Amino acid sequence: MAVERVSLTIGEGEFVTLLGASGSGKTTCLRMVAGFVYPDEGRVYIADAEVTRTPPHKRATAMVFQQYALFPHLNVAQNVAFGLKVRRLNRAEIDARVREVLSLVRLDGLAERMPNQLSGGQKQRVALARAVVLKPQILLLDEPLAALDLKLREELQLEIKRVQTALGVTTLFVTHDQGEALDMSDRVAVMHKGRIVQVDTPAELYQAPANGVVAQFIGRMTIFPARIKSIENGICLLCDNHGGDFKTRHWPKDAQTGEAVLLTIRPEAYRIDAHLDNVCKATLDRVLYQGTGWLCQASESAERRHTVSVPLTANAPKIGERVFLSWRAEDCRAIRET
């Protein structure tokens, strides 16, 4: 089953991303909204109108594809105008809307160029212009940045968000890239095995993942199994498989003593050679310089490794160094696996 019991409501003008690994069902969901796939059960609504069995060309949607899908024999202006001609708008209105949208996506002066004369980023801007010139109620983006290099992807992220904000168009974006999702979205729906496992703002997804699936997919995270030992005075005391005790101020509110959970810590939560609420001793195995600091892998044991972010203001870490790692109870979280 490609998608199972997915339910999602998107507000007018909202930018929502379906985020997940390949095969998670996100593109199938997008194609159901577009009308390329009809669901076996359930309904699709755009505004107050049910469109579950409405063919794609009769829906108020427009899609931007990963591979541009430009007509090679038409120039930029002709590609952008194609949908308007199909709708039989008059020549003056078509010309005006094409000029307007080419200016919006910053392609002024390129109207006469052919697709083979454009860079990858310019082609994707033409594809975006061709979609938004139709003034759709829903803009659908199917991994439109996947074929571009990193710097160009980052530039196009800003452009897409700028255009979407300027038009106020409701947008559904599909990607497997968590950076794109967190940077561009008002909300993100994380998909796993055909289901939505969490829908939240980028900040909430990063800071408070609902379960192990989301925690492992969003950002770097140290995750290890533990069991709830006690809950009292706003502190959840956990014990791990090696007899160590750890404290957290965040845990599932209906959790019970003795329940198996996962303890999660973000790299930036750690302090080296400090003694906060939770402390362990580890060896630095890897040290990666990242411009703003170092990203380290520290082994507490053969089974447990911590991913630690060290700022440039600290002493440079060294491979093989034995250090104390510590973090506050406020900065870690106990979650369920699923």
Pull the structure tokens for residue 292. 């703003």
Angle between helices 91-104 and 120-132 (to 10 degrees): 130
Q: pLDDT of 51-103, one tens digit each?
A: 999 999 999 999 998 888 899 999 999 999 999 999 999 999 999 999 999 99
Is there a contact between 217 and 21 (Cβ–Cβ < 8 Å)? yes
Q: What per-residue confidence (pLDDT) applies to 66?
A: 84
pTM of the predicted structure, to 2 decimals: 0.91
Integer CA distances (angstroms), 27 to 36, 55, 66, 169, 256, in order:
11, 18, 11, 20, 38
Q: pLDDT of 235-248, one tens digit each?
A: 999 998 877 899 99
Question: Tokens 């078509």, residue?
Answer: 94
- The predicted model gives 287-298 an average pLDDT of 95
Q: Is the confidence at residue 147, as pLDDT, over 90?
A: no
Q: What per-residue confidence (pLDDT) applies to 159?
A: 92
